[in-house]
Amino acid sequence: MSHAPTVNSLSNIYSLNVEAQSKRYAQLESRFAEIYGAKPDFIARAPGRVNIIGEHIDYCGFPVFPMAIAPDTLIAVRTNNTDCIQIANTSPKYPARKFSLADLFTIDSTVHEWSNYFKCGYRGLFEHVGRTGGKGFDALLDGTVPAGGGLSSSAAFVCATELAVQRVNGIDLPQTELALIAASAERYVGVNSGGMDQTASIMGQQGSALFIEFDPELKATLVKMPDADPPLAFIIANTLVVSDKHVTAPICYNLRVVETRIGALILAKHLGIANRPACKNVDPLTFKIVMNEYFADQDTQAADQVQTWIDRLRAMLDASTAAFGSYLQGYTRSEMAQALDMTPEELSATVHENLFPVRADRFKLLQRAQHAFSEALRVVRFRQICESGSADTDYFAELGSLMNQSQDSCRDLFECSCPEIDEICTIARSAGAFGSRLTGAGWGGCTVHLVSQDKVESVKQALAQQYYAQRFPDLLADQLENALFVTAPGRGACYFA
């Protein structure tokens, strides 16, 4: 099993702007010494991620296709031989906090407090290993992943915290375990996370994207991006519309999770498999589990694996239309409960609304199911194209088309886009991007664009002039650099010492 590595050269972490990163690390160590009177023992680092394709389907059990990126969270750490933890932030926006070790197990999810994410990582780790506390330490955090930008700033924070806490306390868990703990830990702040963000942050590798599967167990397969002439490149463009999952969860992120959970329950009943052991009393029941059980008796040993995926997903698209097609405008709570022979109160308990409350008059199960199954199909095809190795493949056209289809589905079926995302995608495509889509939860945040290397500057210039200069005329040059940048698959979480 792989564990979080320790590196001593920043060139083994970053492929771009290594000199600027060197200055940043030096400034972090210097600031740490100013605050705490000594240099840190080590720096824990966890990156954000960009999801190239596969949006909102990790919590449906389907594979996704992200990559780790350079923007990250750094936590400089030094043990302090006390029973307290002090945590500060290089940004004055976030006030320093001091906690007793017992305080770290108390998290008020109703309060939007930055240090709650630190508590998530701490509590999740110790609960997993069955301990009630550890050593005190001093910490200073520096983050470059934009909050609410769709690049997983919260996951980077929680994952970096895990690394910091485990090293101080002599724990060394495998990467897969750390990813699962981090995904589960975000529930303490009321976010029903699917696991993609944390897995990409922990397990990313330079030069490769990750094909991440969640069922029957967490598995990350490295997929090298194809060689092309000119080379492929990815541009990240932040809409600068902040969508905080914690704040908007009841009407956005958590609502979509609940819609897919209830959709899986009703689909299983429609297919006549709800009472099979693989589906009955399973919590949570996902679309992937339903699909697997429906085809459980199918002999696929001699079949092509990719074609099996494609055939099954297409069949599920037809099945979801048959199951939900009579409710094009969505279900009411009572209609969903009636379909499952439950009371509305029993249904609410089944999907854990006490932990993840939602607000909606109508639940659009047809549209959410159609997105989930078609998006999973696009992810499978994306990997297939990347691994084809065919000289005749037009990678830009084929991969770009899948990304554009994904954006259409996110906008029209999953309704997680917004006007700013749509505008950026239109501008980028007109300037030469082959594929443009939202990335992350949506409703704001970031977009990702597939371009050929020779088109990078023209696409960036078009976005700078037609989007940022028009909507944010007072944006400073360094702010624009942080909002609009080129990225490549990067290294996952590690220690720098």
The CA–CA distances, whole Å, from 451 to 232, 369, 385 equal 6, 30, 16
| CA–CA dist 361, 10 (Å, integer) | 51
CA 38 to chain centroid, in Å, comes to: 35
Active-site residue flag, 197: yes
**Secondary structure class of 326 (helix, strand, coil):** coil
Q: Which residues contact 451 (CB under 8 A, 6 or more apart)?
A: 232, 233, 234, 235, 428, 432, 433, 434, 459
Q: Residue count of the chain, please give it.
A: 497
Q: Which residues contact 91 (CB under 8 A, 6 or more apart)?
A: 142, 143
Tokens of 317: 């698209």
**Secondary structure class of 78 (helix, strand, coil):** strand
Tokens of 465: 């002039």
**Secondary structure class of 48 (helix, strand, coil):** strand
Q: Which residues contact 404 (CB under 8 A, 6 or more apart)?
A: 429, 435, 436, 437
| CA–CA dist 483, 419 (Å, integer) | 17
In 86-132, alpha helices (H): 115-129
Secondary structure element (H or E) that encloses residue 66, with its range: strand 65-79
Cβ atoms of residues 383 and 223 within 8 Å: yes
Cβ atoms of residues 453 and 231 within 8 Å: yes
Q: Is 353 exposed, middle or buried (0-12, 13-18, 19+ CB in 10 A)?
A: middle
Query: Torsion-angle region of residue 52: left (phi > 0), alpha (psi -120 to 50) or beta?
Result: alpha
The catalytically annotated residue of 138, 142, 197, 244 is: 197
- Pick the closest to residue 426 from 444, 449, 397, 443 (CA basis): 449
Active site residues: 197
